Amino acid sequence: MNMAIKASRKPPDEGGDEALALSILVIDTDPERAVILEQGLVEAGYPRVMTIRSFNQLASRIALLHPDVILIDLGNPDRDTLEGLYQVTQSLQRPIVVFVDQSDRSMIERAIEAGVSSYVVDGLRKERVRPIVEMAIARFHSYEKLRRQRDEAILALEDRKVIERAKGMLMKQRNMTEEQAYHAMRKAAMRENRKLAEIARILLTALQIE
């Protein structure tokens, strides 16, 4: 396995507790460019740096290391390399930074679709590492917040639809008014210590069987 894990010296306190706690994975097949990132991270206050220097079995190796942030230096990648990489990154829910020497609009759009937080063109310099990492983390958290809000809104809408369907079925099959059906469901939810939507789903299943 071509993987180097570096135990870096403890940097000055300028990184703060949050930076000290972060584990950062550098993925780079070019040793010289990898050193630039490694040194830039340590000097910026990130001591927990790991390095992978090949793309072989990348998904399983990332899962084994479980980094908080991933920095990938690609230099001048072809589209097949990018597509293979993005198939891996698409499922990773963590800040990801990709460094390339040159790019175009379609490559940037594909990177965003694949869950890349920062796509840096011709910007591999030690002094830029810290602001790039901080920006990637901020963008990732912002995106995750929006994603959670979207998922919660979708779930709430689905729950309301299920509750309305269960209420309507109770009204029809048990000859209840809308208020009676709602209160019956609410009473069951309180008794069973369940959410109203859970009771509604149970009722729908039970009433459809009858």
Q: What is the pLDDT of residues 117-154, one digit of tens each?
A: 888 887 678 888 888 899 889 988 888 888 889 889 99
Residue 186 phi, psi dihedral angles, 5° rounding: -65, -40
Q: What is the pLDDT of residues 166-194, one digit of tens each?
A: 999 999 888 999 999 999 999 999 999 99
- In this prediction, residue 3 carries a pLDDT of 41
CATH number corresponding to 150-209: 1.10.10.10
Domain ranges of the chain: 3-124, 150-209
Q: Is 148 helix (H, G, I), strand (E, B) or coil?
A: helix
- In this prediction, residue 59 carries a pLDDT of 87
Q: What is the pLDDT of residues 58-104, one digit of tens each?
A: 888 898 999 999 999 888 777 777 778 888 887 788 899 988 887 77
Distance CA 119, CA 139 (A): 12
Residue with tokens 């597509």: 83
Distance CA 196, CA 193 (A): 9
Distance CA 97, CA 71 (A): 5
N residues, the chain? 210
Q: Assign a CATH topology to domain 3-124.
A: Rossmann fold (3.40.50)
Long-range contacts of 27-35 (CB under 8 A, 24+ apart): 27/51, 27/52, 27/53, 27/55, 27/58, 27/70, 27/71, 27/72, 27/73, 28/52, 28/53, 28/72, 28/73, 29/53, 29/54, 29/55, 30/73, 30/75, 33/73, 33/75, 33/124, 34/73
Give strand pairing partners of 71: 26, 97
Q: Six-digit token pair at 159?
A: 């729950």
| Top-confidence residue, 180 or 55 | 180
